[in-house]
Amino acid sequence: MSSTQPTICILTAAYNEGESLAFFYETVKKVTDTLPYSFSFCFVNDGSKDNTLDIIRRIASENEAVKYLSFSKNFGQQVALKAGIDATHTDAIIMMDSDLQHSPDLIPELISVWQTKNVNMVNTLREEDEELGWFKKTSSAAFYKILNRVSDLQLEPGQADFRLIDRKVAQTLRESKEHDVFLRGMIYWIGYDHATVRYKAQKRFAGTSKYTFSKMMGLALAGITSFSVKPLYSAIYIGFTFAFLSFLYLPYVLYSYFTGSTVSGWSSVLITIAFFGGLNLIIMGVLGIYIGKILIQNKQRPLYIVQEQKL
């Protein structure tokens, strides 16, 4: 940490957050203005289709401590946060959602833990919300359970991208050239000294969640395939298992051959062929995901494209 007054940046990725962004900024600034640190803000407009960029421009024009990046299209929240980290060089970065589910009142505690415990990052752990819908609870629990089982990660349910990272962690993340960005996994993989603060998520100020079921599945696949080759081993194990089971069918075939008995109809054969054909497609799909990731990584296309910025 710096021996002088620490500089801290509030980083948020915004996608169609025109309804809440101005209120988010005002609410957070009320908190940061009471603290004895040098704060700045970094907004990343992730290809929004509403007036998000206009609001960011207005805020930035009124405050020199506000900078922003605006993407040419939607690249996703994880990439947007990575872009903000790439562009920020303060003593610490606090990542927050702009819908105010991540309470600004927790900012002083994050900073206090960072300084008193002398850690490199302070993660947050969301306590279970009793009002949360059944589907959201179930899908979130399944997300972490599957991710931990089939990857080399061990993430606690409730972890989110609401955290404080210091300059050392930020520099390590900048050096990463991975195409599939999964910050929760990367933070776990980095290691370093860390602490955890529990919090209760607030109600969303406006709008709806941008994380649909398909996006959650995509995030899970990114985490699994970026940090583990266990699915490849699983495909091999499944292949050997069914190859062994197929030999168990051999005595019946020999018995039918020597006794002259035949099986009437072709449905059983068709079902067997369809089953093993589907199994082969699953295994090929697993292989295809890894090969596709290699192809995309080797193309070395930029992770994101900035169309407009104020830094």
Q: What strands, in cross-sheet order, belong to the sheet with 159-166?
A: 194-199, 121-126, 159-166, 92-95, 7-14, 38-45, 66-71, 306-310
* Amino acid code (one letter) for 202: Q
**What's the predicted TM-score (pTM) here?**
0.73
Residue 182: per-residue pLDDT:
81
Tokens (6 digits) for 276: 């093993």
Strand-pair category, 121-126 with 159-166 = antiparallel
pLDDT of residue 99: 85
Model pLDDT, residue 2? 45
- Per-position pLDDT tens, the chain of length 311: 445 789 999 999 999 998 889 999 999 999 999 999 999 999 999 999 999 999 999 999 999 999 999 999 999 889 999 999 999 999 999 999 988 888 899 999 999 999 999 999 999 988 766 655 666 666 666 767 766 676 666 777 667 789 999 999 999 999 888 777 888 878 888 888 989 888 887 766 555 555 555 666 666 666 666 666 666 666 666 766 766 666 666 676 666 666 766 555 544 665 566 667 666 767 777 777 777 767 766 767 788 999 999 98
3-state secondary structure the chain: CCCCCCEEEEEEEECCCCCCHHHHHHHHHHHHCCCCCEEEEEEEECCCCCCHHHHHHHHHHHCCCEEEEEECCCCCHHHHHHHHHHHCCCCEEEECCCCCCCCHHHHHHHHHHHHHCCCCEEEEEECCCCCCCHHHHHHHHHHHHHHHHHCCCCCCCCEEEEEEEEHHHHHHHHHCCCCCCCHHHHHHHHCCCEEEEEECCCCCCCCCCCCCHHHHHHHHHHHHHHHCCHHHHHHHHHHHHHHHHHHCCHHHHHHHHHHCCCCCCCHHHHHHHHHHHHHHHHHHHHHHHHHHHHHHHHHCCCCCCEEEEEC
